[in-house]
Amino acid sequence: MDRSRVTVVIVVLAAALALPFYAGPFWMGLATQIIIFGLLALSVDLLLGHTGLFSLCHASFFAVAAYTTAILQVRYGTPTVFAAPAGVLAGTLLALVFGIAVRTRGVYFILITIALGFIVWGVAYRWSSFTGGDNGVTNVPFPSIGPLAVTSHLQYYYLVLAIVMLCALGYRMLVSSPFGLGLRGIKASESRMRSLGYRTALHLYVAFVLSGALASLAGVLYVYYNRFVNPVTGSFQISVEVALMAIVGGSGTIIGPFIGSGVLLGLRNWVSSFFELHAAVMGVVFIATVLWAPDGLVGLARRLRKRRTGIRKDPA
């Protein structure tokens, strides 16, 4: 890692750790959401940024995990020790099934994931005796494991921060491993990878399942924060928004999806306080990104820095 990247990481971490000392409850809540959705965007970007597959069904894993944990906690009084892992497991099992989508590429992959996503949303919406329909599942308690119980939003913020930081570290390990390099190889040339001995479909399937597992973890973190879950959680709109987060922030990077999450959620909060059309604003942000920062904000920052250092070195 070069020096500027280390600096960025340290500044971001310090800001996140110190946040409760300078931000009120509203901002704390927003920050928790940004981190959780950042993790969801990161999970989408394992496919998008590293394999080139554009998934639009990640809200499904997120929602199935959230529903599973919520229903177990609320309706059956299952303790967090079981309810939280069960949520991750349920979302991951769904990813094992939806993983068949990797048999297709390009626009067909996008279409299949959209269709799969609508199935989950439809079930959540219609199977109301189990999912609570439109109302969803409410009154999810804070998580508690034995004597260790989260009792405030502040504590939960730190818990989420810690878990997501561990995930980011694991993710970093994964993408710099031979397996992760293989994914980027498939993105660059799948036919070449096959001729080098890779069973590319299996590589992509494994990546899809890992990505689904990460999205499921985000779903469990989300339901304990939000205290309720309804079909909107698994909607197409969420799938699109998290993909946008990854692209706006910087696809193929780790910090990018979190930055994108911050920009989009921050903007939505700000805009919707005086304006009904936050979806239109998201559209404008996306178009601006594609036109002026195709590599996202991280890519833009890198480009600007390169230009600046380039000028400084020039007069020789």
Partner 1 sequence: MKQSALEVEQLVKEFGGLRAVAGVSLSVEAGQRRVLIGPNGAGKTTLFHCITGTLRPSLGRVSLFGRDVTYLEEYERTALGMGRTFQISNVFTELTLLENLTLAIVGTDRRKWTMLRPVRAFGSVREEALQGLEAVGLEHRAAETAQHLSYGERRQLELALALKSNPRLLLLDEPCAGLSPSERQRISRMIADLPRTTTVVMIEHDMDVALGLADRVTVLHRGSVILEGTPDEVQANPKVREVYFGHA
**In 122-251, beta strands by DSSP E:** 144-145, 148-149
- Please identify, among the stretches 178-186, 217-225, 263-271, 284-292, the one whose residues bind partner 1 according to the rule CB under 8 A: 178-186
199 is a site residue for partner 1 (CB under 8 A): yes
Interface residue with partner 1, options 173, 280, 284, 287 (CB under 8 A): 173
Interface residue with partner 1, options 97, 100, 196, 304 (CB under 8 A): 196
Taking a C-beta distance cutoff of 8 angstroms, is the pair 250, 259 a contact? yes
SS3 54: coil
87 is written with which tokens? 């949520």
Interface residue with partner 1, options 200, 233, 251, 253 (CB under 8 A): 200
Rounded to a whole number of angstroms, the minimum distance from the CB of residue 169 to partner 1 is 11
From the centroid of its chain, how far is CA 272? 22
5 is a site residue for partner 1 (CB under 8 A): no
CA-closest candidate to residue 230, choices 156, 305, 132, 159: 132
Interface residue with partner 1, options 5, 194, 305, 307 (CB under 8 A): 194
Interface residue with partner 1, options 24, 146, 178, 310 (CB under 8 A): 178
CB atoms within 10 A of CB 191: 9
- Please identify, among the stretches 135-143, 168-176, 242-250, 300-308, the one whose residues bind partner 1 according to the rule CB under 8 A: 168-176
Identity of the amino acid at 154: L
- The residues near 291 (Cβ < 8 Å, ≥ 6 apart) are none
Rounded to a whole number of angstroms, the minimum distance from the CB of residue 69 to partner 1 is 26
310 is a site residue for partner 1 (CB under 8 A): no
Helix (H) / strand (E) element for 144: namely strand 144-145
The contact set with partner 1 (CB under 8 A) reads: 173-174, 176-182, 184-185, 187-189, 191-200
